[in-house]
Amino acid sequence: MEFDTAGMVDAAQAAMREASELAVAYSFSILGAIVLLIVGFVVAGILKRWTYSGLGRFESFDETLRKFFAKVVRYAVLALVIIAVLAQFGVQTASIIAALGAVGLAIGLALQGTLQNIAAGIMLLVLKPFRVGEYVDCGSVSGTIEEIGLFATEFKRIDGLYVLAPNSELWNTPVTNYSRNPLRRNDLTIGIGYGDDIELAQQTLADLAARDGRVLDDPAPATFVGELGDSAVAVTLRYWTTTPDWWQTRLDMTKAGKQAFDAKGITIPFPQRDVHVVPAALKEAAE
């Protein structure tokens, strides 16, 4: 069996030439890809820092959102860099972008609930219906805000229990914020007997408000008869305090009102009911 030595040599030389040509051609692509990756990572880091510091100039911009948008910018730049690197090697990036879009759509549908929480978290952080440290009531959950995240919000209930609520649930529920406004009103209503002096009761409550330094002069306190009940006349003291003083002032004024009424002989009646007994003889005569 004879070997074609000359043909094998020519084939080897041709393969070497093709390999050298490919090496020369792809060496520039590899070098360009390395340069793109280095520059891309540097630019992504710089833009991330610029975004974070730029958003920090807005005092009302939340820290969580600053970090979130800074990371979004960084990953967006890195995605563009990777697409540019693939283009260096002749890869059709249009099909890759289309595939990534399809994958992103599939992931979005699979994580629909999670994405709703993220969107709701962004809206909560931007519009700020509540902040950390404020006491709020969101329907099914109430308590002091401990942390507002992109996915969920942490509460500390008034009894000390920990609650983690999804942001989408909070965003779709009316929020009552008990800490946001600086002033808060309270109505102290005490029922007195029908035979008691209404003017004395009103003046007694007005004196209580005047003696308590936490009760504001503007808006001024007011007393009035709010209701004529079955067993009592409801006398109300309406006053305003600062929000931090509201709860303790309410407790103190309720106690002081009971003590002041007792000292002045103003009764706070129990619920009463009049019972009329009809004698049997009259009942038979009526029938």
pLDDT > 90 in the chain, percent = 38
Q: How confident is the model at residue 1 (pLDDT cuts 50, 70, 90)?
A: very low
C-alpha to C-alpha distance for 265 and 2, rounded to whole angstroms: 134
Tens of pLDDT, residues 91-102 = 666 666 666 676
Q: Among 53-67, 125-139, 146-160, 177-191, where is mean pLDDT lowest?
A: 53-67
Average pLDDT, the chain: 81
For helices 112-127 and 93-110, give the axis angle rounded to 10 degrees: 90
Domain with residue 57: its CATH number is 1.10.287.1260
Domain boundaries, position 223: 183-263
First-to-last CA distance in the chain? Answer: 140
Q: Is the pLDDT of residue 251 over 60?
A: yes
95 and 31 inside one domain: yes
95 and 69 inside one domain: yes
203 and 234 inside one domain: yes
- Residues 36, 81: contact at Cβ < 8 Å? yes
SS (H, E, C) 28-69: HHHHHHHHHHHHHHHHHHHHHHHHHHHHCCCCCCCHHHHHHH
Q: Is the pLDDT of residue 27 over 70?
A: no
209 and 256 inside one domain: yes
56 and 80 inside one domain: yes
Closest CA to 133 of 149, 148, 142, 144: 144
93 and 17 inside one domain: yes
* Structure tokens, 160: 């000390």
- Residues 235, 198: contact at Cβ < 8 Å? yes
Q: Is residue 270 part of a domain?
A: no
17 and 50 inside one domain: yes
Q: Is residue 3 part of a domain?
A: no
Q: Is residue 217 part of a domain?
A: yes
Domain with residue 161: its CATH number is 2.30.30.60
Q: Among 81-85, 91-95, 201-205, 267-271, where is mean pLDDT lowest?
A: 91-95
Q: Is the pLDDT of residue 111 over 60?
A: no
C-alpha to C-alpha distance for 170 and 175, rounded to whole angstroms: 8
Element (H, E) at 176: strand 176-177
Q: Among 27-41, 136-150, 158-172, where is mean pLDDT lowest?
A: 27-41
Q: Is residue 216 part of a domain?
A: yes
Q: Is residue 275 part of a domain?
A: no
Q: What pLDDT does residue 197 have?
A: 93
Of the three residues 177, 192, 207, the one that is the final residue of a domain is 177
More confident residue, 76 or 207: 207
166 and 210 inside one domain: no
Give the total number of structural domains in the chain: 3
Domain with residue 257: its CATH number is 3.30.70.100
Q: Is residue 162 part of a domain?
A: yes
Q: What angle do CA 191, 241, 130 make, to 5 degrees?
A: 115
190 and 163 inside one domain: no
Q: Is residue 279 part of a domain?
A: no
83 and 153 inside one domain: no
71 and 106 inside one domain: yes
104 and 25 inside one domain: yes
Q: What does 109-170 look like in DSSP terms, one character per residue? A: HHTHHHHHHHHHHHHHHHH-SS-TT-EEE-SS-EEEEEEE-SSEEEEE-TTS-EEEEEHHHH
Q: Is residue 36 part of a domain?
A: yes
